[in-house]
Amino acid sequence: MTDNADNKPGHAEPDAHVDAYTGVQTTGHEWDGIRELDNPLPRWWLWTFYACILWAVGYWVLYPAWPLASSYTTGLLGYSQRELVTEQVAASREALREYDVQILAGALSDVPGNPAVHSVALAGGESAFGDNCAPCHGRGGQGFKGYPNLNDDAWLWGGTLEDIQTTLRHGIRWDIDPDTRMNDMPKFLDDGILSREEVADTTQYVMSISGRDADPEAATRGAEIFAAQCSVCHMDDGRGNKELGAPNLTDAIWLYGGDQQTIYASIAHSRRGVMPAWQGRLDEATIAKLALYVHSLGGGEPSAPVAEVFGDVLPEESLPATEGGVQE
Residue 328, interface with other proteins (CB under 8 A)? yes
Residue 268's alpha-carbon distances to 116, 199, 208, 273, in angstroms, are 50, 7, 18, 16
Residue 152, interface with other proteins (CB under 8 A)? yes
One-letter amino acid for residue 24 of the chain: V
Give min distance, CB of 47 to other proteins, in A: 15
Distance CA 171, CA 45 (A): 70
Give yes or no for a contact between 194 and 202, defined as CB atoms under 8 angstroms apart.
yes
Rg of the chain in Å (alpha carbons): 38
The burial class, CB within 10 Å (0-12 / 13-18 / 19+), for 291 is buried
Pick from 80, 104, 132, 138 the residue near other proteins by CB under 8 A.
Answer: 138
Pick from 154, 161, 185, 263 the residue near other proteins by CB under 8 A.
Answer: 154
Site for other proteins in 297-326 (CB under 8 A): 298-300, 309-310, 313-314, 318, 320, 323, 325
Site for other proteins in 53-112 (CB under 8 A): 112
Give yes or no for a contact between 161 and 300, defined as CB atoms under 8 angstroms apart.
yes
Distance CA 136, CA 280 (A): 20
Give min distance, CB of 24 to other proteins, in A: 9
Residue 182, interface with other proteins (CB under 8 A)? no
The 10 Å Cβ neighbour count of residue 303 is 14
Give min distance, CB of 9 to other proteins, in A: 4
Residue 257, interface with other proteins (CB under 8 A)? no
Given the complex with other proteins, which of 135 and 140 has the nearer CB atom? Answer: 140
Stretch that binds other proteins, among 16-24, 61-69, 178-186, 216-224 (CB under 8 A): 16-24
Give min distance, CB of 236 to other proteins, in A: 19
Q: Where are the alpha helices (DSSP H) in 213-328?
A: 216-229, 231-234, 260-269, 284-295, 306-310
Distance CA 258, CA 264 (A): 10
Site for other proteins in 24-43 (CB under 8 A): 33-35, 39
Give min distance, CB of 39 to other proteins, in A: 8
- Axis-axis angle for helices 196-209, 216-229 (nearest 10): 100
Given the complex with other proteins, which of 75 and 112 has the nearer CB atom? Answer: 112
Give min distance, CB of 56 to other proteins, in A: 27
Query: Which positions touch other proteins (CB under 8 A)?
Result: 1-4, 7-10, 14, 16, 19-21, 33-35, 39, 112, 138-142, 149, 151-154, 248, 251-253, 296, 298-300, 309-310, 313-314, 318, 320, 323, 325, 328
